[in-house]
């Protein structure tokens, strides 16, 4: 993927189902960290054109990072919407990305964790771009941190 040679096998992926699976997998970690994970409970299926395993890795990684990195008792939310032919998956938590990391968040080894090797955000961007999308973020004391992953929607006739 880093060399741009990997070509994903694109298929219809039900994003609501992927988020349900991620929630199931992350529940134990969230309980240990006393973090509440909120995902759409009655979400309508949203079919994206993607590779399911890569989408699960991408969103699962970001969810795990959010649970591990932010304050005990925090609420981490995941939701999605359609926006201009793309599916925007947005994660939010009340924490703030430290200033010294913001400009290089998506580079390898960008971390403030002691002893951490932090490849999560780097891998997330690599996966998003491999799938024809991208990822960005906003962070502030007032609003917390929002990560947005944009992936291609399934188009009619796909």
pLDDT tens track for 74-117: 888 888 888 888 899 999 988 888 888 888 888 886 665 544 45
Q: State percent of the chain over pLDDT 90.
A: 30
Give the model's pLDDT for residue 5.
84
Give the model's pLDDT for residue 105.
85
Give the model's pLDDT for residue 98.
85
Q: Where do the domains of the chain lie, and which CATH numbers do they carry?
A: 11-48+80-152 (3.30.565.10)
Please name the helix (run of DSSP H) or strand (run of DSSP E) that holds residue 66, with its range, or none: helix 52-69
Give the model's pLDDT for residue 44.
65
Helix and strand numbers, DSSP H then E, in the chain? 4, 7
């Amino acid at each position: 993927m880093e060399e741009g040679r990997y070509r994903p096998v694109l298929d219809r992926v039900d994003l609501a189902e992927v988020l349900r699976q991620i929630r199931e997998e992350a529940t134990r970690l969230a309980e240990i960290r006393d973090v509440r994970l909120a995902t759409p409970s009655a979400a309508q299926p949203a079919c994206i054109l993607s590779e399911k395993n890569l989408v699960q890795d991408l969103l699962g990684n970001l969810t795990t990072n959010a649970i591990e990195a932010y304050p005990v008792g925090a609420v981490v939310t995941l939701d999605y919407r359609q926006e201009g032919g793309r599916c925007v998956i947005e994660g939010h938590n009340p924490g703030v990305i430290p200033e010294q990391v913001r400009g290089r968040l998506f580079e390898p080894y960008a971390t403030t964790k002691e002893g951490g090797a932090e490849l999560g955000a780097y891998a997330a961007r690599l996966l998003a771009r491999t799938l024809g999308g991208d990822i960005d973020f906003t962070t502030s004391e007032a609003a917390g941190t929002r990560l947005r992953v944009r992936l291609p929607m399934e188009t009619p006739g796909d």
